[in-house]
Amino acid sequence: LGRSSGILGRKPRSFSCFLHPRLLNISGSQQCFHLAEVSDLPNQCTPYPCERKGTVNCQDLMGTFYCQCKAGWSGKICDQDINECSHQNGGCNQICYNQVGGFSCACYSGYKLLPNNKTCEDINECVDESTCGEARCKNLVGSYSCICEEGYMYDNEKKVCQDVNECEEKLCEQTCVNSPGSYACHCDGRGGVKLSHDMNTCEDILPCISFDVAKSVKSLYLGRMSNGAPVIRLRFKRLQPTRVVAEFDFRTFDPEGVIFFAGGRQDNTWIMLALRAGRLELQLKYNGIGRATSSGPVINHGMWQTISVEEVERNLVIKVNSDAVMKIAVSGELFQLYRGLYQLNLTVGGIPFKDKYLVHPINPRLDGCMRSWNWLDGDDTTIQDIVKMNSRMQCFSVMSRGSFYPGNGFAYFSLNYTKPSAGDETQRLWGVEITAEIRPATDTGVLLALVSEEKTVPLSLALVDYHSTKKLKKQLVVLAIEHVSVTFMEIKVCDGQDHLVEVRIKEGEIALTVDGTKGQMEVSSSQMEERLSALKKYLQSPLKTYAGGLPDVPVMSAPVTAFYHGCMTLMVNQKTLDLDEAMYKHGDITSHSCPPTEQAGQ
């Protein structure tokens, strides 16, 4: 061998060959080193040549040294950190963190490290009931979600579900009312619109059934003036006293009202022909002496008949279809001399003074129809011309029994819904019973409602074409106390048929039936009791009962505010509501006559 690879600095004394611990024995050869005497070689590990934090120990190799590295270190002096994460992520399941001289495994948020310190497992945060507070906790892979009911939003800080005010999102075309967990859009029913199918926008209320509202230009409608004032006023002037002759065709379903009046002032001489209980009644006053008589058949059956009143030899003779039904002796003249002329005032469909000055007071309003009239053999072309120009003075060509609401007005009454208890007059019993026979033209409208002096709506019965809470389009009859729907029932509104709606409300009970089928309750028993308690309180104070619509109240006061359109007969607490007796009635509402539907009329 050649010279030693070590630099010993002394004269060699002997030679020996050995295998270097850091070298391989190649082809059986040996590396030969020139050995110095051991006792004379300095310790190669002093001073310490290795990086201490990366070294297990240093081995003196007699002329050189060997640094034994700790795991995670490399290099001759163990000063180079090994990045274990660069090879197969260090064996970590998710995150590998290289560290000086080592590494560690970690997990993403929502996971935990298993005891093997490499594998990650999902954490079920929902095991802790406080994770989501009052919300429902749903575990997800590596995470979780706090879920609130529809209409609520989760507050991460407070861990509560807070109501979402959908009205701030401008979802409704007109009025929006926010409620816990939901919202409701309202359209101005009095303006002729309703909610459309998307439950947010509004659309026109259009008839789904057409009524045959054709009118006869040769007829005179006596009920046009809802206040009972005459529809026609005539004054006849003659040079000589003239006998009274009047003849006309007449048709009505109305049991009471004034047909015509002839004479002078209330304290003078006059006669009045009217209906009472469906029979003709004649009231007259001659020279301050009044009397009344009634006779003949019931004539409010809706059929045409000819009625005549004629003054014959100091007698007034009244005939129905040429048959005399009354003959009353009179003393005096109806024509009164005034400024050189004999004059007579004649009014049709009302009287020229208050009904309290009659012999027997009567409700002057009369839903009746007249044609082919002849007053004192006079020329009536003026009346005909007036009637032709004003359709409101004309009658339906065909009519049936009932009241007709054209969809633009209402009538209201002052009714009492309480009465003293038989055993204790300090206690007052209360109850509401409603029976409505309806033939609707539209699917939306108020049938009947109670309205307080403060313009709240304690009770309403209405047609509507959607379910407000479920937000479904259905034709329904809805009974509501204030703005809360308490019960409903489906109805086939657009079939052109008559339907019977019945309501019964008393202590502990709310019942709605439509055509004999009981409605569904929308409130719990406890909520029903709350609603009944609120209604009972309202009934102790003055209320107005509205038929066919509502006054100008806030649109959210009731589920429906639109006017009813169609035929309807109402009975409240077992008494039929006669619209002629209403405190107010819109002039377009006919009290006792209703046109047929076009399907029925064809």
pLDDT at 2: 36
Most confident of 41-45, 115-119, 141-145, 546-550: 546-550
Residues 25-64 have pLDDT tens digits of 444 444 444 444 555 788 889 899 998 888 999 998 888 8
pLDDT at 30: 47
Contact between 256 and 362 (Cβ < 8 Å): yes
Distance, CA of 440 to CA of 345 (rounded, Å): 42
Confidence of residue 423 (pLDDT cuts 50, 70, 90): low
Q: 81-85, 401-405, 548-552: which range is least confident on average?
A: 81-85
CATH number of 127-163: 2.10.25
Q: Is the peptide bond before 47 cis (omega within 30 degrees of 0)?
A: yes
Beta strands in 414-527 (DSSP E): 418-420, 428-430, 432-440, 445-452, 459-464, 476-481, 484-490, 499-506, 509-514, 517-518, 520-521
In this prediction, residue 181 carries a pLDDT of 87
Query: Residue for token digits 């079920």?
Result: 124
pLDDT band at 379 (very low <50, low <70, confident <90, very high): low
Instruction: Say how far apart CA 156 and CA 277 lie, in whole Å.
Output: 74
pLDDT of residue 107: 93
Q: Which of 325-329, 372-376, 377-381, 500-504 has the lowest mean pLDDT?
A: 377-381
Give the start-to-end residue ranges of the domains of the chain.
41-73, 84-120, 127-163, 166-204, 215-397, 404-594
Reported residue count of the chain is 602
Q: How high is the pLDDT of residue 471?
A: 67
Write the pLDDT tens digit of every residue in 67-83. Answer: 999 888 888 989 888 88
**Eight-state DSSP code of residue 455:** S
Report the pLDDT value the prediction gives residue 25, as an integer from 0 to 100: 43
Residue 198's pLDDT is: 87
The fourth-level CATH superfamily of domain 166-204 is Laminin (2.10.25.10)
CA atoms lying within 13 Å on the CB side of residue 467: 15
Nearest to 183 by CA among 160, 197, 200, 196: 200
173-190: pLDDT as tens digits = 999 988 888 888 889 999
Identity of the residue numbered 514: V
DSSP 458: S
Q: 84-120 with 166-204: one CATH topology?
A: yes
Domain 84-120 of CATH type 2.10.25.10: yes
The pTM score is 0.76
C-alpha span between 159 and 345 (Å, rounded): 84
DSSP 326-354: EEEE--S-SSEEETTEEEEEEEESS-SS-
Contact 165, 155 (CB under 8 A): no
How does residue 84 score in pLDDT terms, banded at 50, 70 and 90? confident
Question: Average pLDDT in the 349-363 region?
Answer: 91
| Best CA proximity match to 45, nearest among 53, 37, 57 | 57
Taking a C-beta distance cutoff of 8 angstroms, is the pair 546, 446 a contact?
A: yes
**Residue 7 pLDDT:** 36
CATH top class, domain 404-594: mainly beta
Residue 355 tokens, joined: 């009904």
CA distance 228 to 347: 12
The pLDDT tens digits of the residues spanning 209-256 come to 999 999 999 999 999 888 889 999 988 888 888 888 999 999 999 999
What confidence score (pLDDT) does residue 6 get? 37
Q: From CA 194, how far away is CA 202, in angstroms rounded?
A: 5
Is the torsion defined by CA of 484, 486, 490, 493 positive or negative? negative
Rounded percentage of the chain residues whose pLDDT exceeds 70: 91
Identify each DSSP E strand in 119-191 by its residue range. Answer: 120-122, 136-140, 143-147, 152-155, 160-163, 175-179, 182-186
Give me the CATH code for the 215-397 domain, please.
2.60.120.200
Mean pLDDT of the chain: 88
Q: Does an H or E element contain 383, and which? A: helix 381-389
pLDDT at 164: 92
Span 180-201, mean pLDDT? 89
Is pLDDT at 15 greater than 70 in this prediction?
no
